[in-house]
Amino acid sequence: MRHHRKLTDDERRQIIEARAEGSPAAALARRFGVSTRAIYNTLSRAKGARSASTTTMSTRLSARQLAGFQAALERRGITNQPAALRRLMEAADILLRPVDQAVLDHLQAWVRRSPPKALRSTTSPAS
């Protein structure tokens, strides 16, 4: 009887993320030293573990905001925009945690009003 290598939880997470970014199953199998069947089984189990209920969100962005976000992803080699947005949302508690009360006060004031001029689009309507 043949013994197959068992993937660790971290390797499974890496496989799921890499596949979501478009890595071929065969390349992942070579990278982790398992069969392509093991890759597909890992992906299949991950899909089954997801909650069936999801919510769709939408937001309006200026062309400048979207271009800035896309440029930030590109600088980091991230090609899957929806996955990047999900990861940012998962990390929101950490990213939005202020380091001191002054930062918290600034963030709360910023949320209550429109962004400062430096963050607004510099385009003006044509006359």
What are the Cα distances from residue 59, in Å, to 1, 18, 62, 86, 114? 55, 27, 10, 14, 15
Q: What per-residue confidence (pLDDT) applies to 80?
A: 87
Cα–Cα distance for residue pair 34/25, rounded to 1 Å: 10
Tell me if 33 sits within 8 A of 61, measured CB to CB. Answer: no
pTM over 0.85: no
Q: What per-residue confidence (pLDDT) applies to 115?
A: 54
Render pLDDT for 30-39 as a digit per residue (tens, 0 to 9): 999 999 999 9
**Two tokens, residue 125:** 């309507």
Looking at every residue in the chain, the average pLDDT score rounds to 81
Render pLDDT for 71-114 as a digit per residue (tens, 0 to 9): 999 999 888 888 888 888 888 877 777 677 887 788 788 777 76
